[in-house]
Structure 1
Amino acid sequence: MALPAWLESCRQWVLRPPGTTVQLRPLQEKVQRAAERRRELEQLGDAALNARARRSRADRDEVEFAAAARECARRALGLRPYDEQLTGALALAQGRVVQMATGEGKTVTAAIAAAALSADGPVHVLTVNDYLAGRDAQWMRPLYERLGVSVGWITELSTRQERREAYACDVTYVSVNEAGFDFLRDGLCTDLAHRVQQPLGAVIVDEADSILVDEARIPLVLAGATLTGQNLAQRMAELVRQLRHDEHYVLADENRVVHLTPEGAALLERALGGIHLYAAENLDVLTAVNLALHAEALLTRDVDYIVRDGRVELVDSFRGRVAQRRRWPDGLHAAVEAKESLTSTGGGTILATITLQAFVNQYSRVAGMTGTALPVGDQLLEFYGLEVVVLPPHRPRIRVDEPDRVYATSEQRDTAVLAQVATTHATGQPVLLATPSIAESEALGARLRDAGIDCTVLNAKNDAMEAAIIAEAGTLGAVIVSTQMTGRGVDIRLGGSDQHDHARVAATGGLYVIGVGRHDSSRVDDQLRGRSGRHGDPGRSVFFVSMQDDLITTFGPEKLPRLEPASDGRLDEPAALRAVADAQRIAEQVNLEIHRNTWRYHYLLEQHRATVAALREELLTGDRADRMMAQHRPADHARLVRAHGRDRVASAAQAIVLYHLDMAWADHLRDMGDLRESIHLHAFANLDPLDEFHRAAIPAFRQLIPDVELRSAETFAGLDLSDPDWTPADLGLERPSATWTYIVNDSPFGVDLERFFAGVIGLLRAGWQAA
């Protein structure tokens, strides 16, 4: 049966090799020329070598700098970078994304590239967490000092002064979230002296596929803290707990959407005093009900989130760890807190927001590195204009990647996993067992201990100790049970962190990576595999999958082929392997389309943000506010200047206009959030929600700046500067007394977008089956 043309095109997109790659030969030729200078540089004293490195950096001489940096690294760190690392450093300095396998030395590669880039201005190295920012900066400091480059780092606990000093360095290591939050805070400063960042120059993004693709659409938020709606959320949580699945509510669209049934609505209406739940005057109540129902039916503790120290903390599905300061948007987080009977942390008034994608694009030059860039090469090119350089490993990879083992049920899968771990452990071969959720990691860990197998469970609840745990995962007989391994940032060396037992562990076959269930991104699976077989070491990897896994039930064929499992539940037929592979490909395509659609929504807001930011910069650094008030209130302006002098009047005008601009922008963000929540209703009239969003948002923004000028002029008319201690608060212009930052898991257009992609999944399923 022939596929429709558009569906065949989609299928071919999924099957074709992705990515735009750069030829290695020109880079390798430069590295070869650098290698020819080895003997000459080794004979130089430290002072002469350092001077030569600094001179070549200032002269932007790539070959000379690569040669000198290599020798400096050998003396400073005891590590002589391989040709592959120098090739990667040159590629990063040219603004590429470098694909380097796990354990190939990305940290040194990035340091050499950052030092080269710093000749043109400050460089940020963006990491996935605070631990890596501090570790890498301190580890590379001796190399940077030889190269004449200052280095600093920032963590969540850094003070404003510490941040300012770190950003003043030539190279700054900082997590992407902290850098983004500092950018937002700087954007609301009313005094240039309070800013901490320098103008954004070059950036090197670690775990580039994770930050630039998987998390690209996540908005960073700066809010003024408030507490609202806690009682209503608690009341709805209590009522929703009484509802029964399939009687009072149903799940739809691949268990992504939950709806009340008529019986459920009637029960709630009676419990709420006989109200009409769907009447316009009860919109707030209906919203609270839907949020509570979503929290109860669709979000699972120890899978989607954990509760720790009295707080709900989201779990990053790609890393299997707590996503620091991340929240669900639009009241859902408060609904989950109510579900868990916790005190609400409040939603706050959003003062500023920017997506990670938009933030990274603020830098003048972007580069990145990761072990799995090629599969998302098209997206890196589409969203950032970045090309990929694929580096070969320093030593050939000899790891054995076994075919997936597919089972009929999750229980049969887990039984097989436990048997495999026991068999492997008996030989002394270390095992890294990766599970899809915290709950499963703890359950499998408990079953292993019951079987007499000592193991360490590494998940979102003990992430503070993860580096030490991972570093020893390659010791003889070790069994580590983890969630995902993306972004862990620590190599697993055979024989332990000091490799004292390397030969014995290698003789057992090296690290055995066992994945429990496939992730909806093949890159995450590949990164897990990459923990084994580093630097030519032996290793093995295999994935155990069940037809009950979420990936298969959500994205797999609706009607699975008739398969006859073996006595242990294993499905050996090629059709079972195809079903798993097809489900993963469909999941990747759906996630890409969600990325594109959410970026289309955020792109307009980003244009608005950039316009407001440019005006704000003009107000803060020039006399735009003073001129504005002189134009709108000439008599008042002239009177005040005669009485108090132009400088004082200009300062007051600046404070007034900045306040109204910031509040107008916060109001605009709130209105756009409300609009986004309701815009999906236009789909019922066969209108494109995105088009309708733009149709409403553009005129609203056009009115923003004229409104700011009008409000500022009205405030200026009542200005009295006779008090020498005058402050904007004297006119009621009070900013939030405290601000806080968080991240939201964004899902623009809510249910409607989910319905659309449910339809896409169905069409893709039909296409795979027809093919």
Structure 2
Amino acid sequence: MGMARVTGWIRRLLDKPGSVDLAPFQRIVAEAGELEAGLRDRTEIMPSDADRIGADRIGADRIGADRIGADRIGSAEFCAVVREAARRALGERPFDVQLAGMLAMLDGHVVQMATGEGKTLVGALTAAGFALRGRRVHVVSVNDYLARRDAEWMAPLYGALGLTVGWIAESSTPEERRAAYVSDVTYAAVSELGFDVLRDRMCTDPADLVVPAPQVAIVDEADSVLVDEARVPLVLAGSADQGVALPEMAALVRRLSRGYHYTIDEEGRNVFLTPKGTDTVEKALGVDLYADPGVVTQVNLALHAHALLTRDVDYIVRDGRVHLINASRGRVAMLQRWPDGLQAAVEAKEMLAASETGEILDSLTIQSLIRRYPEICGMTGTALAVADQLREFYDLRVAVIPPNKPCVRVDEPDRIFATAEDKEQALLEEIAERHATGRPVLVGTLDIAESERLAEALRAKGLDPVVLNAKNDAREAEVVARAGARGAITVSTQMAGRGTDIRLGGGRAEEREREVAALGGLYVIGTGRHESSRLDDQLRGRAGRQGDPGGSVFFVSGQDTLLTAYLADESLPATDADGVVRDRHAAYLISHAQRVAEGVNLEIHRNTWRYTRLLERQRGELMERRDKVLHGDTAARAMLAACPERYRELTEAVGADAVQRAARQIVLFHLDRCWTEHLGFLSDLREGIHLRALGRLNPLDEFNKESVPAYRAMLDEIERRSIETFEKADLTRDLDEQGLRRPSATWTYLVQDNPFGSEWDRILSRVAGALKRRKR
């Protein structure tokens, strides 16, 4: 076993990103092409041909999805059959590269395929392959809309292959969810999958369970789900007292001035009161600030909300509520919120009523959710840039699938300026100049505020842009459909960077498509570089789909946040007479700043996973115990062994079945209650563990030293409380009335990690940034 582990480590070390050999897949696809003509001539091919490659018939028109010969899935015959199924059911004949992508995913890889290459169909073909192997398949999407759209769009294909498909949305009832999970293939947003798992972990009756055992996960937008959002915790909360938003604290910090009353660190991750600021706050509140930790916390939260979180950048206000913005997608993160204290502080800042707060009953990171599946594969347009992370955290390799038609998009070098003002002026001129030719222009901005500011400036020049951001996301389909039309100017946040297919001419007629193509196709302009090069690539990828002509360029200034945050000790070379920086070193500095940003975020991901890994082991072990209690008589046998006289006494009074049910309810209640308390302890422990570093101790070692005995003590406490309750319980009355009442309401949400991280994360961020700069 040790040798196998060493061999696997050496293989991962020597593998190059994107080094999956496509030749075996391409050979199989070529063989499938030779079988294609023979299949086309048949009237009824699906059942008979599926039978021939190993399936058992179930009924007259259904292919057996549970006993197919696994060794035949992925063969040339299988490729030929699913290609013909897609042609007949959907009117789409899969390209050779799509079949190669399917085979790579069936082999357990993440495939990188360019925009417009038909990843949705590739995912469906892959799901069908796994389902015909007898696996239960979950296609993991980034939101409800895509889950429903793709399930309904691909349903005829699954039907032709004798498979069933279902989908889950936030509004789905428990019955609808069970029905969807029973299907051969289930489409669902990653958050809904996680919430169902969390809710199942609180069930006290096996009949209430919803989610079956995980088998195969096919992850759409794999880099976003598996890397960008990997450490996002999904939370199950229980009712507690209404949170106090402390409006007076928000009103107080509004009067403070940056630089005089408070300062912000260079990464923009923390804010500190100055001595003058401390005096001002103490006089306003009439307290000794640092003598009351509770007041310090409230002031700090209010200050963080005021100074570090910006409306229309980090969040929007809609319908009287704060909605967070998902930075990597530019969309409203409908189910996300910050930890309760910070959420309440932002609501107070915006003078809104405080939203519900509660005690965290259980939580699960997206990375831990996906790692539950024995088989994982995925697809995205930008996997290569995170190939190392996919291998490190999931043991996944990247297969780069070539486009069906060569990409002819022209990617111009960055246009670099000294100041943001010079950049914006040049940007407006560039948009106007391109628009004058009739060429459609898509402008990608970094946040909502910038998209609205730029649109206003364009209107002042007499232009008529259409804005697409999280505030008007309901119009997304309409805006995107017209973005490739002649003369269109579309100003968008990162919303237009993923899952979007922009057709030249607005998709109305071939003649208009040819007309726009003759003008050079869609022209994409980025108003600044993102912290991740993948987001830049996603934006570029809106142009040049399926061999269409297109172009892209990014405008960058020395005052952009990327440079000021991650390259603060460097300045760009001098500008030429026209205000443009043309020195080659400038392009190097920009790409270096991007690498530093990516490195810092990777270190924070690694650090989060180091802490989370132990928690997940503990959770896994505890949930095994819980399952044994839920599905068997473990609790009853434990109570019988611990207090035999009381057990016999209760059995005589109410009967053996009633005692078994009561024992199960008692043990499950205390197990869940103690786990909730353990989560709270670990959260507090991690927040304070960075202080151990001041004593030259390793914080992670110290965390493990305390969390392991705390877990053992928790197991003992579950047993002690369960026995104590069993000894005292009156089984003729409702146990809820005897101290076993569960929360009257529960709800689920995603916690966007405190955007400033724990103190240890902030230290790590600064150290990582300094090391990166020193290595240069």
Query: Compared with structure 1, are the counterparts of its residues 190 and 54 closer, same or farther at alpha carbon in structure 2 (3 Å cutoff)?
Result: farther
Corresponding residue for 1:73? 86
Corresponding residue for 2:185? 171
Corresponding residue for 1:352? 362
Are 1:278 and 2:290 an aligned pair?
Answer: yes
Are 1:581 and 2:591 an aligned pair?
Answer: yes
Structure 1 Cα separation of the partners of residues 765 and 559 of structure 2:
21
Matches within 5 A, 1:331-730: 331-485=341-495, 488-500=498-510, 501-556=512-567, 558-567=569-578, 569-722=579-732, 726-730=733-737
Structure 1 residue aligned with 2:46, among 46, 49, 58? 49
Contact kept? 1:608, 1:701, Cα under 8 Å: yes
Corresponding residue for 1:239? 252
Matches within 5 A, 1:19-34: 19-34=17-32
Offset at residue 229 of structure 1 (A): 4.1
- The amino acid that maps onto 2:50 is A
- The amino acid that maps onto 1:183 is V
Contact kept? 2:573, 2:581, Cα under 8 Å: no
Structure 1 Cα separation of the partners of residues 686 and 255 of structure 2:
30
Structure 2 residue aligned with 1:743, among 736, 739, 750? 750
- The amino acid that maps onto 1:530 is G
Corresponding residue for 1:11? none
Matches within 5 A, 1:13-412: 19-45=17-43, 47-53=44-50, 56=53, 58-60=68-70, 61=72, 62-63=74-75, 64-119=77-132, 120-230=134-244, 233-273=246-286, 275-279=287-291, 282-329=292-339, 331-412=341-422
Contact kept? 2:18, 2:400, Cα under 8 Å: no
Deviates more, 1:555-564 or 1:51-60: 51-60
Offset at residue 20 of structure 1 (A): 4.9
Query: Compared with structure 1, are the counterparts of its residues 387 and 17 closer, same or farther at alpha carbon in structure 2 (3 Å cutoff)?
Result: closer
Contact kept? 1:413, 1:544, Cα under 8 Å: yes
Structure 2 Cα separation of the partners of residues 499 and 537 of structure 1:
15
Structure 2 residue aligned with 1:759, among 755, 760, 767? 767
Structure 1 Cα separation of the partners of residues 193 and 47 of structure 2:
31
Secondary structure of the residue that 1:495 maps to in structure 2? helix
Contact kept? 1:50, 1:72, Cα under 8 Å: no
Contact kept? 2:558, 2:571, Cα under 8 Å: no
Offset at residue 51 of structure 1 (A): 3.6
Corresponding residue for 1:6? none
- The amino acid that maps onto 1:24 is L
Secondary structure of the residue that 1:36 maps to in structure 2? helix
Corresponding residue for 1:7? none
Secondary structure of the residue that 2:289 maps to in structure 1? coil
Structure 1 residue aligned with 2:740, among 733, 736, 744? 733
- The amino acid that maps onto 1:657 is V
1:712-765 per-residue CA deviation (whole Å, 9 max, x = no partner) reads 11111112223xxx4321312111111111111225961232133213212322
Secondary structure of the residue that 1:350 maps to in structure 2? strand
Query: Compared with structure 1, are the counterparts of its residues 632 and 17 closer, same or farther at alpha carbon in structure 2 (3 Å cutoff)?
Result: closer
Contact kept? 1:493, 1:499, Cα under 8 Å: no
What's the TM-score, normalizing by structure 2?
A: 0.93
What's the TM-score, normalizing by structure 1?
A: 0.94
Deviates more, 1:639-648 or 1:679-688: 679-688
Offset at residue 325 of structure 1 (A): 1.4
Offset at residue 307 of structure 1 (A): 0.8
- The amino acid that maps onto 1:566 is A
Structure 2 Cα separation of the partners of residues 19 and 727 of structure 1:
60
Offset at residue 690 of structure 1 (A): 2.1
Structure 2 Cα separation of the partners of residues 499 and 614 of structure 1:
59
Offset at residue 533 of structure 1 (A): 0.4
- The amino acid that maps onto 2:744 is S
Contact kept? 1:126, 1:174, Cα under 8 Å: yes
Contact kept? 1:27, 1:90, Cα under 8 Å: yes
- The amino acid that maps onto 2:547 is G
1:1-46 per-residue CA deviation (whole Å, 9 max, x = no partner) reads xxxxxxxxxxxxxxx996252100011111111111111100111x
Deviates more, 1:681-690 or 1:83-92: 681-690
1:106-135 per-residue CA deviation (whole Å, 9 max, x = no partner) reads 011110110110132210101111111111
Structure 1 Cα separation of the partners of residues 460 and 23 of structure 2:
55
Q: Percent identity?
A: 53
Q: How many residues align?
A: 744
Secondary structure of the residue that 1:136 maps to in structure 2? helix
- The amino acid that maps onto 1:409 is T
Offset at residue 59 of structure 1 (A): 2.5
1:569-627 per-residue CA deviation (whole Å, 9 max, x = no partner) reads 32111122111111001111111111100111111111111111111111100111101
Corresponding residue for 1:5? none
Structure 2 Cα separation of the partners of residues 323 and 378 of structure 1:
27
- The amino acid that maps onto 2:768 is V
Offset at residue 766 of structure 1 (A): 3.3
Structure 2 Cα separation of the partners of residues 570 and 588 of structure 1:
27
Contact kept? 1:160, 1:196, Cα under 8 Å: yes
Structure 1 Cα separation of the partners of residues 763 and 495 of structure 2:
31
1:615-641 per-residue CA deviation (whole Å, 9 max, x = no partner) reads 111110011110111122211111111
Query: Compared with structure 1, are the counterparts of its residues 289 and 563 closer, same or farther at alpha carbon in structure 2 (3 Å cutoff)?
Result: same
Offset at residue 362 of structure 1 (A): 0.5
Structure 1 Cα separation of the partners of residues 461 and 266 of structure 2:
39
Question: What is the RMSD computed on CA atoms of the aligned residues?
Answer: 1.7
Contact kept? 1:511, 1:540, Cα under 8 Å: yes
Contact kept? 2:196, 2:210, Cα under 8 Å: yes
Structure 1 Cα separation of the partners of residues 250 and 686 of structure 2:
24
1:301-357 per-residue CA deviation (whole Å, 9 max, x = no partner) reads 101111111111111111111112111125111111111111111331001101000
Query: Compared with structure 1, are the counterparts of its residues 549 and 651 closer, same or farther at alpha carbon in structure 2 (3 Å cutoff)?
Result: same
Corresponding residue for 1:13? none
Contact kept? 2:497, 2:542, Cα under 8 Å: no
Instruction: Structure 2: state its 5+ residue gaps.
Output: 1-13, 56-67
Offset at residue 54 of structure 1 (A): 6.0
Structure 2 Cα separation of the partners of residues 571 and 765 of structure 1:
22
Contact kept? 1:683, 1:752, Cα under 8 Å: no
Deviates more, 1:555-564 or 1:371-380: 555-564
